[in-house]
Structure 1
């Protein structure tokens, strides 16, 4: 089947060579029953590839079940995946089939597979090796015939080396690897995608379609897009709904991009942090920077008052929100992990009092608390804003000792 047909069927926009290569691999492997591991950053569209594989396989008439492993609490994930017997635990008033049993003869997509706890990884390995599984509370094993496609936005090799993911399971899942490129590496596709999203929203609400001038296109193509396609769609919809003018200039675009020059910001992570957590920590630090910049006016007033009283003790990373656009210093402060990703003022601030360092943990904690407050404690919405999985957010809340947000 031609790539053009596949793109039209699944609504995939773009002609980037690396994207086309990933699609071709998916089509070639679809006719087999080999396990596939789809990797890529959050928001790149990994969820389309298992659908393409299933639709072009001999299992296309069987069930297709997508499971977000990061959204299921650790205490119930075994029951969700493999089912349970009546009385297996409190509340188990009847027997229930799990996803692997429901998907028998079809395909199961395990999104955010790296979030699976170790005990569940052992069960999954057995299914991949023998097709056998046991319901929670059962004494006999059952058989299932499923094709497994998994996806993750972290480096599983690093997770294996850090003991967070089983090596034997990694090789079982990674029989055929497919890597999806981030949006910033698909510069030629960014304008096409923006136009598609703008047209969709204009059609839906019966409004004129917005267009971009040359400066706006340049800004879009050179922006880092930490949220990838999901973030681009959000920006296109915001501009279409809010702006009265239909010709979008560079000045207008800047208002909707958290930072109009992200490629100048080095993202230096602490060498002591586990490599498998780098993506999560980087995304949280991005969020901190975005929030600081949005509060620029308020921060300026606060700092002016504190300096007047000669009692300034704010963390250096907070100064990043005070800088005007385009006046970034040559190198970031590196006295704390959070400050490594944020710029500080190049002029020396004289202060005889002690300064509180913004640790990596404190920076992450503040970003999570702000997101939870904005969404009235709804963890799913907060996790989506922070570009992390719901399971990762649960773990971070526990690790950082964050109280419930009312």
Structure 2
């Protein structure tokens, strides 16, 4: 499976070199049974890598179980992972299988593995070394054949130095390391991801998709995104739901990035960093001051019109300062279509008409496709362009929705 096919299958967007390298390592290690440790900041999408590894391994027909180690209380995590016998503790009214027993023959994904308590780390080490575990309340060792993939946003080497994580367990888990890059290092992918999230919201709630002007797109790509992809998706969903305008400017986007600082723009090689930062800060200040002045001017004129009931254009003009430059006309607001991305099987907004009450999402989607086909005389290629989706996606949707008349 090549990278493009892999990305389409798992909904991965972007062509960053570090991301591609991480995906290639996952593909190469998948056929083996080696343990894999996935590292990266919170929100970068580490959870997709164990799915890729499992789906491309000989265990793909076995169980895949994902466990968030940080979400299970310390007092019950051993029981959750390894099971328990009846009467092992208060409330244990019957025996119970653990995740390692349920995942036998398959893959188990341990997310936030650095949160495991020391006693559980010892039990996990035994599973990795000998393929054995003991249920809570039992003295009998049981065998399991499980592929372990772990992930963490913590520097485990530092945790080992601080005594919070066992060194022997770290080396057992870190047989094959995969590092997922943060979003701020994927500048070229940020806009593609934002466009995908905005299109998903628009399709789900039957509304026109939002689009960014040049200023907003520049701000989007220079913001550091401490919350990574998770934060980007949250911002796209917020703007889509809250803003009436479908054309998003830098001023609108700034409301959702309150800690944005123009100085975060990367420095171009060959120029002095101090001088370049000062020039950028000055340029941003001039631009924002100009936008602010124009907004204030429009508000003042509107207030004077309402207060004095001026009806003639000449009366309004008389109120303006003589040397004031002509206001820049605001760009027309048109919902911008979202182009199909070769790296994601994205279904864009197919019909921007008002939602039909009583209709399900599938029915409305079916109606949109039929309308597009009728507009183009049944020509599927033209209909796909009209719907801003790939021809392959249109064929699949026609089959899924049972559209037989074309």
Give the alignment of 1:115-130 within 5 angstroms: 115-130=115-130
Identify the residue that residue 261 of structure 2 maps to in structure 1: 261
| 2-structure distance, mates of 1:264, 1:126 | 47
Structure 1 unaligned blocks of 5 or more: 266-406
Give the alignment of 1:145-184 within 5 angstroms: 145-184=145-184
Identify the residue that residue 250 of structure 1 maps to in structure 2: 250
Structure 2 unaligned blocks of 5 or more: 266-406
Give the C-alpha shift of residue 131 in structure 1: 0.2
Give the C-alpha shift of residue 139 in structure 1: 1.2
Identify the residue that residue 59 of structure 1 maps to in structure 2: 59
Deviations 1:256-298 (A, max 9, x none): 0131118669xxxxxxxxxxxxxxxxxxxxxxxxxxxxxxxxx
| 1-structure distance, mates of 2:263, 2:48 | 28
Residue 224 of structure 1 contacts residue 262 of structure 1 at CA under 8 Å; is this kept in 2? no
Give the alignment of 1:196-235 within 5 angstroms: 196-235=196-235
| 1-structure distance, mates of 2:231, 2:262 | 14
* Helix, strand or coil at the partner of 2:65: strand
Kindly indicate whether structure 1 or structure 2 has the higher relative contact order, using CA contacts under 8 Å at least 6 residues apart.
2
Identify the residue that residue 26 of structure 1 maps to in structure 2: 26
TM-score (normalised: structure 2): 0.64
Give the alignment of 1:29-108 within 5 angstroms: 29-108=29-108
| 2-structure distance, mates of 1:31, 1:87 | 40
Residue 197 of structure 2 contacts residue 236 of structure 2 at CA under 8 Å; is this kept in 1? yes
| 2-structure distance, mates of 1:139, 1:125 | 17
Identify the residue that residue 192 of structure 2 maps to in structure 1: 192
Give structure 1 regions of 4+ aligned residues with deviation exceeding 3 angstroms.
Answer: 262-265
Residue 223 of structure 1 contacts residue 263 of structure 1 at CA under 8 Å; is this kept in 2? no
TM-score (normalised: structure 1): 0.64
Residue 131 of structure 2 contacts residue 144 of structure 2 at CA under 8 Å; is this kept in 1? yes
Deviations 1:340-399 (A, max 9, x none): xxxxxxxxxxxxxxxxxxxxxxxxxxxxxxxxxxxxxxxxxxxxxxxxxxxxxxxxxxxx
Give the C-alpha shift of residue 25 in structure 1: 0.3
Identify the residue that residue 299 of structure 1 maps to in structure 2: none
* Helix, strand or coil at the partner of 1:253: helix
| 1-structure distance, mates of 2:25, 2:72 | 30
Identify the residue that residue 348 of structure 1 maps to in structure 2: none
Residue 223 of structure 2 contacts residue 264 of structure 2 at CA under 8 Å; is this kept in 1? no
Residue 113 of structure 1 contacts residue 152 of structure 1 at CA under 8 Å; is this kept in 2? yes
* Helix, strand or coil at the partner of 1:41: coil
| 2-structure distance, mates of 1:210, 1:140 | 60
Deviations 1:196-255 (A, max 9, x none): 000010111111111111111111111111110000000001111111111111001100
Residue 13 of structure 2 contacts residue 192 of structure 2 at CA under 8 Å; is this kept in 1? yes
* Larger-Rg structure: 2
User: What CA RMSD, in Å, does the superposition of the two structures yield over aligned residues?
Assistant: 1.1
